[in-house]
Amino acid sequence: MNNEFSPKTRDIFFWNNVCWACGKQHANCIHHTMGRCSNSPLNASPINNMICHIGNGKLSTYETRKLFLKKTLEFLKKENYKFTKEDKFFMKKFSQYYK
């Protein structure tokens, strides 16, 4: 899981191996759901890099992004994650996806 997410964010998802894209237990990377605009954990979606990420044009569709953001928010709440100012800014910026 080597990307621009902080070690703290990578640690949050470390034990999760469920792929947000297909539901199989083979996630091995963290995808920037809304692109590299933010390194907030809210922008992180665990997926399988080779099978579900590379070449998958569906990852940038509105519906897929909305689904991934919802899954990530639910996951973070379940993990008792404490939301930061950056996280709140991210949610405000992409509020249309959270409706």
Range of the domain at 18: 7-98
Any domain includes 1? no
Answer whether residue 2 is part of any domain.
no
Residue 42 CB neighbours (<10 A) = 25
Please state whether the predicted TM-score (pTM) of the whole model is above 0.95. Answer: no
**Amino acid code (one letter) for 18:** V
Residue 87 lies in a domain: yes
Structure confidence by residue, pLDDT tens digits, 5-60 = 889 999 999 999 999 999 999 999 999 999 999 999 999 999 999 999 888 889 99
Q: Is residue 59 part of a domain?
A: yes
Asked if residue 3 has pLDDT above 70, the reply is: no
The dihedrals phi and psi of 38, each to the nearest 5 degrees, come to -155, 145
Decide if 39 is inside a domain: yes
Token pair for residue 25?
A: 């237990």
Between CA 71 and CA 73 the distance in angstroms is 6
The stretch 58-75 carries a mean pLDDT of 96
Closest CA to 29 of 68, 1, 54: 1
Domain count, the chain: 1
